[in-house]
Amino acid sequence: MRRISLFCFCAWCLGGLACKPTPSKPQIAFYYWKTRLELTPPMRDYLAQTGAHKLYVKFFDVDWSGQHPVPLAEVEIDTNGLSGLEVVPCVFITNRCMAQLPDDAVNDLAERILRKTFELAAQLPGVRIREFQADCDWTASTRERYFQLLQTLGQQLHERQVSLSVTIRLHQYRYPDQTGVPPGDKGLLMCYNTGNVEDPTETNSILRPETLRSYLQHAHPYPLHLDAALPVFRWGVLFRQGRMIRLIHALETAHMSDTSRFHALNDTHYEVVKSTFLQGHYLYAGDRLRLEAPTVKDLQLAAQMFRPLWRHNKSTGTLAFYHLDTLNMRHFSPQAIMALTAQ
């Protein structure tokens, strides 16, 4: 009898362990955020080496002009190298557009967005669109109108058997009671731009793991299935007389090597000692630059924070990287990217 009881106890324990859910290993994806979609052979090789089969592509922006919403920065598509990839059309909608848009024009805008999206997608032979992504940093004043737009987009997409994903900023994730939960099939949590880029004392506004942790650690499980996006981009922040002037994209240490023009204050801060052009921008003597970029260690720490998030997903999630670019590929090897999804 005691043997039978012991056997039953062990079987119960093993059964409990076997039934315990394990975290899903996310699939790797990349954003492509340029006005011309053109995958070079090195980019295609990089995607293959990382195991990425999904590409989030910005098809166009929607902004307000005059009295109407208008599409801007429409993508030009070169179909070479796209075979075998899942393309997710992304449309960035400015909050200004949602603020100006009349309530009775929301449904019409949804129809126009999808019409243009699928006209562009028709240039992708053999590529079936399974997902569409709406991107907007909505506010309390535009939430109701934007959510109505999403509702209409979702209804029309479902008729095409296409799912709707929506981008979620960190503050929207942490405070869903205040910001609302957008009506979509799933969300994509944008885990970058964690600091104040305009603050001269900021060290890295793109990604600071300790700041990211403050958003994630006390948040309740989000009502939507969530994927996540991490940054692999870099930029320089230009300050003039203590005021942030602009961002200079893809700026790195190698661009600051001319000591006749730039004086290194430390590893990431430089002062312009001679007025000059840099990456097409004119800089004045006395200007200061802060170079910002995530490190592999930063991404590792961030990915560890996502593990609980992935456990809540009912299906395998996606870890997307913003964005696919030759410079970014040099700084993050395929092996480093793949290691971020290791359990």
- pLDDT digits over 68-104, tens only? 999 999 999 999 889 889 999 999 999 999 999 999 9
Res 314: pLDDT: 60
**String of DSSP letters for 23-68:** PPPPEEEEEE-SSEE---HHHHHHHHHHT--EEEEEEEEEEEETTE
| Number of domains observed in the structure of the chain | 2
Sign of CA dihedral 331, 333, 334, 338: negative
| Least confident interval from 5-19, 68-82, 176-190, 272-286 | 5-19
Can you give the CATH number for the domain in which 160 is found? 3.20.20.80
Domain identity same for 120 and 93: yes
Res 20: pLDDT: 44
Domain identity same for 245 and 327: no
Domain hosting 280: range is 235-292
Q: Closest Cα partner for 137 from 182, 73, 74? A: 182
Global pTM? 0.90
Res 86: pLDDT: 95
> Are β-strands 54-65 and 68-72 bridged in parallel, bridged antiparallel, or unpaired?
antiparallel
CB 299 within 8 A of CB 289: no
CB 147 within 8 A of CB 180: yes
Residues 180, 269: Cα–Cα separation, whole Å: 39
Res 217: pLDDT: 86
Domain identity same for 212 and 154: yes
Res 7: pLDDT: 39
33, two tokens: 């955020």
